[in-house]
Amino acid sequence: GDGWVHGSFVAAPGTSGTLPPAPSGGTRYTIDTVYLRSGPGTSFSSITYLPAGATLQFSGTVENGFAQVSSSLGSGWVFAQYIGTSAPSTSAPPPAEIPTGTRYTTDTVHLRAGAGTSAASIHYLDAGVELQLLGEIENGFSRVTTAFGEGWVFTQYIGSERPAAPQPEPEPEPPAAPEPVARYTTVAVNLREGASTGSTVLQVVPLGTQVSFLGETSDGFARVSSNGVTGWVAAEFLASSPPATPAPEPEPEPPVTPEPVARYTTAAVNLRESASTGATVLRVVPLATQVSFSGETSEGFARVTSDGIAGWIASDFLASERPSVPPPAPNSLITWPVRGGEWTISQGYNGSSHQNRSGSWQYLYSLDLVRSDGGTAGQPVYSPVSGTVRWIDEASGGGSIYMGNGLAFAFFHVVLDSSVQEGGTVTQGQYLGTIAPAGQLGAGSRPHLHITIWETSDGGNWSRRAIPFTGNVAIAGASFPATGAPNTHRGITFNP
């Protein structure tokens, strides 16, 4: 009769293909690493991750391409394509003895409650922390005890020798205070409390008076002592010998405040309330905007006025001539999934949890995004691409969006909106949900949004090959090439 058969179990005559388990039950074996799920589908939660060669008891029931089985790690459903009637052969030598004993962390790393990056972080260990190996390795993590408790540490960050601590810079010797030397006032001059014409006048020192110069100068003033009173005198009114003529000189007028001059922004830049990157952002001034520079600078910032709003802009982003504005970039295939404020890449390519560990674990070229001001949790997430939602993993707040042309975009640690469903479509810029708080949906101790891009042959399901965000998959025109360096692109900031 007519009916439907799962496409992955059909092959043309004379060609090879993978057949599902026989309809009768019995002993079966996993032919590759695979999830044991609570139900017959990828939307069901994962009970555990079975290694290749695990022994299963097959019930004889197949549903939605999944076989109902039991194993030493529990009962559930396994994708039938990954079950065989015999254990996979291997020519590999028997595994080496798992080491035990004292080891040390070779870099800063999480001590986690379980063997995976989705497990909660117990403590953030510094480099050089002593560990005791307990002889268990799982999923690339080693079970250890430390002074901060027992848990799991990524094995790549464990070494047999304690890393050398950096030698502190020797503290410089304080400069010897110079001996006071005699100076003479060339006019009747104000002795001020500070090195500024606006500072309080302590006394007026008459013409030709000998003072003790203490060797310190600042902003055109010299620190002196006159008749037991210490203060500041304009250096131009001091001489090494008594003046030849008593002709008095008037005190100079305070400097005239410079007239504001035109400056132009060389990029879209924040106008801040004060001269600090931590100060409140009053507005974002677009590229090539004319602002009025007051002449005042502080800590690498310049005080300007833009559209009647006074504030501070980083001096590096101001020029005396208007820059040319490039033509608008074509629509990007991928845009930033967050908006507003300044964001930072907290973990880049080849980071502690950004690795390729198997055919399905492909996260070498992933990026973790956090708000620079720390307010990451609860920030809205928008779809950076248009496509079909291939799958959703409720445990990690993750999903895969198939973009077409063999590309899929994956994200994790998001409290998803109810409108986002497997099999549904999303458009670029559509609201997906919010970034999960610390300790929820696999986010660990620090809320963040994890993103990655895969080449895929099955719509972004199990066929995955991590690729960097470059070329046609650059993010909003920004390319992030792979260099092979650890944590590539960590610390880069952007304003989406």
Same-domain check for residues 356 and 431: yes
**Amino acid at residue number 344:** T
Pairing, β 343-347 against β 210-218: unpaired
Segment 265-292 shows an average pLDDT of 84
Q: The CATH number of the domain where 130 resides is what?
A: 2.30.30.40
**Amino acid at residue number 5:** V
Segment 113-117 shows an average pLDDT of 91
Summarised one tens digit per residue, pLDDT across range 346-396 is: 999 999 899 999 988 999 999 999 999 999 998 999 999 999 999 999 999
Residue 20: the pLDDT is: 46
308 part of a folded domain: yes
Split at pLDDT 50, 70, 90, the class of 330 is: very low
Residues 231 and 251: beta-carbon distance below 8 Å: no
16 part of a folded domain: no
Of 23 and 318, the structure prediction assigns the larger pLDDT to 318
402 part of a folded domain: yes
Between the CA of residue 203 and those of 188, 193, 199, 228, 249, what are the distances in Å?
10, 9, 12, 11, 17
Same-domain check for residues 356 and 486: yes
Mean pLDDT over the full length of the chain: 87
Nearest to 436 by CA among 43, 120, 139, 35: 120
Task: Tell me the three-class secondary structure of 176-236, residue by residue.
Answer: CCCCCEEEEECCCEEEECCCCCCCCEEEEECCCCEEEEEEEEECCEEEEEECCEEEEEEHH
Residue 269: the pLDDT is: 77
171 part of a folded domain: no
Long-range CB contacts for residues 209-214, cutoff 8 Å, separation at least 24: 209/184, 209/185, 210/182, 210/183, 210/184, 210/242, 211/182, 211/183, 211/184, 211/185, 211/238, 212/180, 212/181, 212/182, 212/183, 213/180, 213/181, 213/182, 213/183, 213/238, 214/177, 214/178, 214/180
Order of strands across the sheet with 221-226? 201-205, 189-192, 229-234, 221-226, 210-218, 181-185, 238-239
Joined tokens for residue 113: 């409650």
Same-domain check for residues 365 and 466: yes
220 part of a folded domain: yes
If you search the block for the tokens 């470059």, which residue do you land on?
470
In angstroms, the CA 232 to CA 353 distance is 59
* SS3 category, 81: helix
332 part of a folded domain: no
Residue 451: the pLDDT is: 97
Residues 21 and 80: beta-carbon distance below 8 Å: yes
Compute the Cα dihedral for 31, 6, 27, 360 and give only its sign.
positive
Joined tokens for residue 188: 């009747």
Same-domain check for residues 155 and 112: yes
Nearest to 21 by CA among 72, 57, 71: 57
Highest mean pLDDT among 78-92, 161-175, 334-348: 334-348
Domain count, the chain: 5
Instruction: Inform me whether the pLDDT recorded for 19 exceeds 70.
Output: no
Summarised one tens digit per residue, pLDDT across range 422-461 is: 999 999 999 999 999 999 999 889 999 999 999 999 999 9
In angstroms, the CA 484 to CA 290 distance is 41
Same-domain check for residues 79 and 111: no
Long-range CB contacts for residues 222-225, cutoff 8 Å, separation at least 24: 222/183, 223/195, 224/183, 224/191, 225/180
**Amino acid at residue number 286:** P
Same-domain check for residues 409 and 351: yes
Same-domain check for residues 383 and 489: yes
Range of the domain at 309: 261-319
Segment 310-328 shows an average pLDDT of 78
291 part of a folded domain: yes
330 part of a folded domain: no
